[in-house]
């Protein structure tokens, strides 16, 4: 979806803020231009990993050098991550190991796929160069948006989808609840800057953003994970923005399939 996201960015903005950064797919895809860029996520394991990639890539690669692709090593890293206090580098290395070697990167069970983690080192170096001037924040979205909101800011938001909140329960005590979706809407609708938001297409989301001067576009994509079992499994998503998403002359029919 990253192509579809980036082509909807407005022509003019100076600050780019990725509010729910996750794996940073959009940030890593977008042209850095001369933007002031911020990556944020509430999950401190992610922000610690990216800070180590940005600031100490050599130490991180040293810590990963002797990682084994084995169930025992995976379980040791997974449990240590929960229980042990350690250095930022060791924490980043365990986290990276657990993401890389877990099934579907879900951090829970060993994936049993052949892969040498040292083959990722060039990618870590590439990410290090891309993140060089990126500010990395570990804040709840509301505080973050308030902090960076200016007329020339663009906020890209990819929050946990509505009705899938349980997946993110490791983050807060109750995960991302309906109250958080409403809190996000209230913050976005009262901001000075521009926002582009992606969501799953459902009645609750459409109702939340049924407001003056808000554009909603729908898009259908194949569902990457479910597709393994059902090749035609599709997923309805929406893009929501407080500016004209067609300002680059982009023609977007109401419904289309990314893979047509």
Ligand X SMILES: C[S@@+](CC[C@H](N)C(=O)[O-])C[C@H]1O[C@@H](n2cnc3c(N)ncnc32)[C@H](O)[C@@H]1O
- Out of 6, 99, 124, 171, point to the residue binding ligand X (CB under 6 A): 171
Site string for ligand X, 121-140 (x = CB under 6 A): -------------------x
Q: Report the nearest approach of ligand X to the CB of residue 210 (Å).
A: 22
Q: Report the nearest approach of ligand X to the CB of residue 233 (Å).
A: 18
25: contact with ligand X by CB under 6 A: yes
Beta bridge partners of 110: 102
> How far is 223 from 239, CA to CA, in rounded Å?
17
Q: Report the nearest approach of ligand X to the CB of residue 40 (Å).
A: 6
- Out of 10, 22, 32, 111, point to the residue binding ligand X (CB under 6 A): 22
168: contact with ligand X by CB under 6 A: yes
43: contact with ligand X by CB under 6 A: yes
Half-sphere exposure of 43 (CA within 13 A, CB side): 20
Q: Report the nearest approach of ligand X to the CB of residue 147 (Å).
A: 13
Give the count of beta carbons closer than 10 Å to the beta carbon of residue 77: 20
The runs of H, that is alpha helices, within the chain are: 2-6, 25-29, 44-55, 57-64, 71-83, 88-101, 121-131, 141-148, 178-189, 203-208
Q: CB–CB of 125/57 below 8 Å?
A: yes
**Interaction residues for ligand X, span 172-191 (CB under 6 A):** 176
- Out of 9, 16, 42, 148, point to the residue binding ligand X (CB under 6 A): 42
Return the range that interacts with ligand X (CB under 6 A); candidates 38-46, 88-96, 97-105, 244-252.
38-46
24: contact with ligand X by CB under 6 A: yes
10: contact with ligand X by CB under 6 A: no
165: contact with ligand X by CB under 6 A: no
**Sheet containing strand 194-200, strands side by side:** 135-137, 36-40, 15-18, 153-157, 194-200, 234-241, 215-222
Q: Which of 21, 118, 40 is nearest to 29 (CA)?
A: 21
Q: CB–CB of 257/234 below 8 Å?
A: yes
Whole-angstrom CA distances from 259 to 53, 220, 224, 256 are 33, 9, 12, 9
257: tokens are: 């399939």
Return the range that interacts with ligand X (CB under 6 A); candidates 31-39, 153-161, 185-193, 221-229.
153-161
DSSP-derived pairing of the beta strands 135-137 and 234-241: unpaired
95: contact with ligand X by CB under 6 A: no
158: contact with ligand X by CB under 6 A: yes
Site of interaction with ligand X (CB under 6 A): 20, 22-26, 41-43, 140-141, 158-160, 168, 171, 176
């Amino acid at each position: 979806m990253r192509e579809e996201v980036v082509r909807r960015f407005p022509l003019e903005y100076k600050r780019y803020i990725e509010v729910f950064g996750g794996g940073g797919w959009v940030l890593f895809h977008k042209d850095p231009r001369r933007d002031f860029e911020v990556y944020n996520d509430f999950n401190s394991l992610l922000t610690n990993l990216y800070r180590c990639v940005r600031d100490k890539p050599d130490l991180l690669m040293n810590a990963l050098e002797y990682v084994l692709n084995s169930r025992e090593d995976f379980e040791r890293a997974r449990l240590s991550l929960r229980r042990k206090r350690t250095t930022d580098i060791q924490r980043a290395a365990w986290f990276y190991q657990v993401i890389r070697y877990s099934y579907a990167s879900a951090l829970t069970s060993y994936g049993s796929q052949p892969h040498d983690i040292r083959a990722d080192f060039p990618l870590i170096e590439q990410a290090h160069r891309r993140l060089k001037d990126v500010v990395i924040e570990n804040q709840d979205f509301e505080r973050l948006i308030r902090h960076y909101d200016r007329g020339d800011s663009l906020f890209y938001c990819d929050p946990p989808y509505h009705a899938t909140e349980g997946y993110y329960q490791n983050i807060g005590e109750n995960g991302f609840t309906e109250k958080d979706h409403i809190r996000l809407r209230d913050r976005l609708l009262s901001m000075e800057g521009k926002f582009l938001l992606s969501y799953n297409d459902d009645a609750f989301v459409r109702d939340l953003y049924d407001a003056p001067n808000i554009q909603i576009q729908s898009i259908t994509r194949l569902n990457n994970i479910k597709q393994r079992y059902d090749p035609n499994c599709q997923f309805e998503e929406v893009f929501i923005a407080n500016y004209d998403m067609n300002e680059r002359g982009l023609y977007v029919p109401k419904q289309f399939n990314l893979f047509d």
